[in-house]
Amino acid sequence: MPKIPGINHLRAVKALEKAGFRILRSGKKHIVMSDGTRFLTIPRNNPVNAYMISVLTLFTVKLG
Protein backbone atom coordinates (compact mmCIF):
# COMPACT_ATOMS: atom_id res chain seq x y z
CA MET A 1 0.00 0.00 0.00
CA PRO A 2 1.54 3.38 -0.97
CA LYS A 3 2.06 6.10 1.59
CA ILE A 4 -0.19 9.16 1.50
CA PRO A 5 1.91 12.27 0.85
CA GLY A 6 1.95 15.09 3.37
CA ILE A 7 1.76 18.83 2.76
CA ASN A 8 4.00 21.78 3.54
CA HIS A 9 3.36 23.31 6.98
CA LEU A 10 2.88 26.77 5.43
CA ARG A 11 0.11 25.42 3.23
CA ALA A 12 -1.61 23.95 6.30
CA VAL A 13 -1.32 27.29 8.12
CA LYS A 14 -2.85 29.18 5.17
CA ALA A 15 -5.76 26.72 5.01
CA LEU A 16 -6.41 27.11 8.73
CA GLU A 17 -6.25 30.91 8.43
CA LYS A 18 -8.98 30.71 5.79
CA ALA A 19 -10.99 28.64 8.27
CA GLY A 20 -10.80 31.43 10.86
CA PHE A 21 -7.67 30.57 12.84
CA ARG A 22 -4.90 33.07 13.50
CA ILE A 23 -1.28 32.62 14.52
CA LEU A 24 -0.72 33.28 18.22
CA ARG A 25 2.87 32.17 18.52
CA SER A 26 5.52 30.96 16.13
CA GLY A 27 8.58 29.17 17.46
CA LYS A 28 11.42 27.12 16.02
CA LYS A 29 9.54 23.82 15.90
CA HIS A 30 5.81 24.63 16.14
CA ILE A 31 3.18 27.21 15.19
CA VAL A 32 0.34 27.76 17.67
CA MET A 33 -2.98 28.91 16.18
CA SER A 34 -6.37 29.75 17.68
CA ASP A 35 -9.84 30.75 16.58
CA GLY A 36 -10.75 32.22 19.97
CA THR A 37 -11.95 29.01 21.57
CA ARG A 38 -9.70 26.25 20.23
CA PHE A 39 -5.92 25.98 20.05
CA LEU A 40 -3.99 24.02 17.44
CA THR A 41 -0.28 23.31 17.33
CA ILE A 42 1.15 22.79 13.85
CA PRO A 43 4.60 21.19 13.59
CA ARG A 44 7.12 22.87 11.28
CA ASN A 45 7.95 19.59 9.55
CA ASN A 46 8.18 19.53 5.79
CA PRO A 47 6.11 17.76 4.86
CA VAL A 48 3.59 17.48 7.70
CA ASN A 49 2.46 13.87 7.40
CA ALA A 50 -1.05 13.04 6.28
CA TYR A 51 -1.95 11.42 9.61
CA MET A 52 -1.25 14.67 11.50
CA ILE A 53 -3.35 16.68 9.04
CA SER A 54 -6.25 14.24 9.42
CA VAL A 55 -6.05 14.52 13.23
CA LEU A 56 -6.08 18.33 13.02
CA THR A 57 -9.03 18.23 10.62
CA LEU A 58 -11.04 15.88 12.81
CA PHE A 59 -10.24 17.96 15.88
CA THR A 60 -11.37 21.15 14.15
CA VAL A 61 -14.57 19.63 12.72
CA LYS A 62 -15.68 17.82 15.91
CA LEU A 63 -15.24 20.82 18.16
CA GLY A 64 -16.50 23.39 15.67
Return the pLDDT at 22. Answer: 94
User: 58 or 60: whose pLDDT is higher?
Assistant: 58
| Other beta carbons within 10 Å of 13 | 19
Return the pLDDT at 25. Answer: 93
In contact, 16 and 42? CB cutoff 8 Å: yes
Q: Answer whether the bond into residue 47 is a cis peptide, omega within 30°.
A: yes
Taking the whole predicted model, whether its pTM rises above 0.85 is answered as no
